[in-house]
Amino acid sequence: MKRLLALVALIVTGSIGKAEAATITFDDLFLDEGGIGGDRISGGFLFDTANNHSHIVRLGSGSENGTQFMIIDDEGGIHPPGSANATTISQGGALFGLASIDISEVLRFETFARQVQVTGNVFGGGTVSTVLMLDAVFFEAIAANYFQTFTFDATWNNLTSVVLIGTGAPTADRNYYAIDNVVVTSAVPEPGTLTLVGLGSAYLIRRRRKNRH
Confidence of residue 53 (pLDDT cuts 50, 70, 90): confident
Residues 168 and 83 placed together within one structural domain of the fold: yes
Residues 132 and 198 placed together within one structural domain of the fold: no
Residues 69 and 157 placed together within one structural domain of the fold: yes
Q: pLDDT: is 152 or 37 the higher one?
A: 152
Q: What's the whole-number mean pLDDT along residues 161-178?
A: 87
Confidence of residue 5 (pLDDT cuts 50, 70, 90): very low
Residues 62 and 103 placed together within one structural domain of the fold: yes
Asked if the model's pLDDT at residue 1 lies above 80, the reply is: no
Residues 200 and 174 placed together within one structural domain of the fold: no
- HEC per residue, the chain: CHHHHHHHHHHHHHHCCCCCEEEECCCCCCCCCCCCECCEEECCEEEEECCCCEEEECCECCECCCCCEEEECCHHHCCCCCCCCCEEEECCCCCEEEEEEEEECCCCCCCECCEEEEEEEECCCCEEEEEEECCCCCCCCCCCCCCEEEECCCCCCCEEEEEEEEECCCCCCCCEEEEEEEEEEECCCCHHHHHHHHHHHHHHHHHHHHHHC
Asked if the model's pLDDT at residue 109 lies above 70, the reply is: yes
Residues 37 and 87 placed together within one structural domain of the fold: yes
Q: Which CATH number do you get for residue 85? A: 2.60.120.1350
Q: Containing domain of residue 53, as a range?
A: 19-188
Residues 170 and 124 placed together within one structural domain of the fold: yes
Residues 102 and 139 placed together within one structural domain of the fold: yes
Residues 25 and 73 placed together within one structural domain of the fold: yes
Residues 105 and 129 placed together within one structural domain of the fold: yes
Instruction: Identify the pLDDT of residue 191.
Output: 57
Residues 67 and 138 placed together within one structural domain of the fold: yes
Instruction: Identify the pLDDT of residue 38.
Output: 76
Please check whether residue 66 is in contact with residue 147, taking contact to mean a CB–CB distance below 8 angstroms. Answer: no
Confidence of residue 195 (pLDDT cuts 50, 70, 90): very low
CA dihedral in degrees (10, 186, 181, 34; nearest 10)? 150
Instruction: Identify the pLDDT of residue 136.
Output: 78
Q: What's the whole-number mean pLDDT along residues 96-101?
A: 98
Instruction: Identify the pLDDT of residue 190.
Output: 57
Asked if the model's pLDDT at residue 7 lies above 80, the reply is: no
**Count of domains forming the chain:** 2
Residues 6+ apart with CB under 8 A from 49: 38, 39, 40, 72, 85, 86, 87
Residues 39 and 133 placed together within one structural domain of the fold: yes
Instruction: Identify the pLDDT of residue 27.
Output: 93
Q: pLDDT: is 154 or 168 the higher one?
A: 154
Instruction: Identify the pLDDT of residue 149.
Output: 96
